[in-house]
Amino acid sequence: MSGPNFGTWRTYAQAREANLIMIPDKEGISPVQAATISVNPSTAYRMLNDFAGLEPGDYFVQNAANSGVGRSAIQIGRLWGLKSINIVRDRPGIQKLKEELRSLGGTEVITEAEAKDRRSMAKMTGGQPVKLALNCVGGESATNLARILGQNGHLVTYGAMSKLPFSVPASALIFKNIHCHGFWISAWSKGNEAVKSQMIIDILGWIRDGKFRDIPYEITKWSEATGLETLMEPVKRGISEYSGRKGIFLMEDD
């Protein structure tokens, strides 16, 4: 599908050609990869490509770096020669998570508390300005991203996991001339069908070549025999907590 929310909870559908993206070579691509590529990897691709004119060697920073979009941004950034500062919440097993994100290509992986240390941040980048910030959290975390940005930097908000508004320091707007944007892949997809098709082909090529790892996911098999509670459990988890995994329903014939 060329965009999400097409309405795929059905056995058959009649669609316009413009609403579909053909995968010319399915070799090495799983159904799960094909089904999930149009949201998280695509969101990361567009934000890295469209806002700050990033070039190899440039820095970007992001919160919620262990999310689906965050993991995608790390990997796409690595493929494009970008350096990333990846911020995550402190938690039990934080070192294991840091190592995991570094293995994807993250340049630096730090906690929210560590990201507030301005001297440490400047040392981390060698004084090089951070040109792009990707915000999925909001609240104090997003405000700190604005502080981290360098001159003429861009802050792009694509999520609000904390459900909190955030303020941008007046000094960042006046003296650093930072720019704030919102991004929603569903809205972008309308009118950009040809560009999106090429983007999907690019990402599928990376997957096929082993250069882009799957976002963690959890499959729930759905058949006539599956009980309601089994189906509701992953939905409840997705609403009430952040697991870091995509929930996938796999429809099966009995």
Residues 90-114 pLDDT 10s = 999 999 999 999 999 999 999 999 9
C-alpha 63/C-alpha 68 separation (Å) is 12
Give every strand in the sheet of 59-62, ordered side by side.
108-111, 83-88, 59-62, 130-135, 154-157, 179-182
- Check whether 5 has a pLDDT greater than 80: no
- Check whether 244 has a pLDDT greater than 80: no
φ, ψ at 63 (rounded to 5°): -95, 175
C-alpha 19/C-alpha 16 separation (Å) is 5
Q: What is the pLDDT of residue 62?
A: 99
Cβ contact 2:189 at 8 Å: yes
Rounded to 5°, angle at Cα 161 from 156 and 164? 85
* Mean pLDDT, rounded, for 222-242: 78
Q: What is the pLDDT of residue 206?
A: 96
Q: What is the pLDDT of residue 241?
A: 57
**Token pair in block for residue 251:** 């429809």
Q: What is the pLDDT of residue 240?
A: 63
* Mean pLDDT, rounded, for 129-153: 98
- Check whether 1 has a pLDDT greater than 60: no
CATH superfamily of 40-186: NAD(P)-binding Rossmann-like Domain (3.40.50.720)
C-alpha 123/C-alpha 67 separation (Å) is 26
Residue 138 per-residue DSSP state: B
Helix (H, G, I), strand (E, B) or coil at 163: coil
pLDDT band for position 233 (50/70/90)?
confident
Q: Across the strands, what pairs with 83?
A: 59
Domain ranges within the chain, ordered by starting residue: 40-186, 217-251
Neighbours of 181 (CB within 10 A): 14
Q: What is the pLDDT of residue 183?
A: 98
Positions of E strands within 92-175 = 108-111, 130-135, 154-157
Cβ contact 115:87 at 8 Å: yes
Residue of 115 and 235 predicted with greater confidence:
115
* Mean pLDDT, rounded, for 214-226: 83
Q: What is the pLDDT of residue 96?
A: 96
Lowest mean pLDDT among 56-65, 125-134, 175-184, 218-227: 218-227
* Mean pLDDT, rounded, for 49-77: 98
Q: How far is CA 231 from the centre of its chain?
A: 26
In the chain, what percentage of residues exceed pLDDT 70?
A: 93
C-alpha 151/C-alpha 247 separation (Å) is 39
Residues 12-58 pLDDT 10s = 888 887 777 878 777 888 888 888 888 899 999 999 999 999 999 99
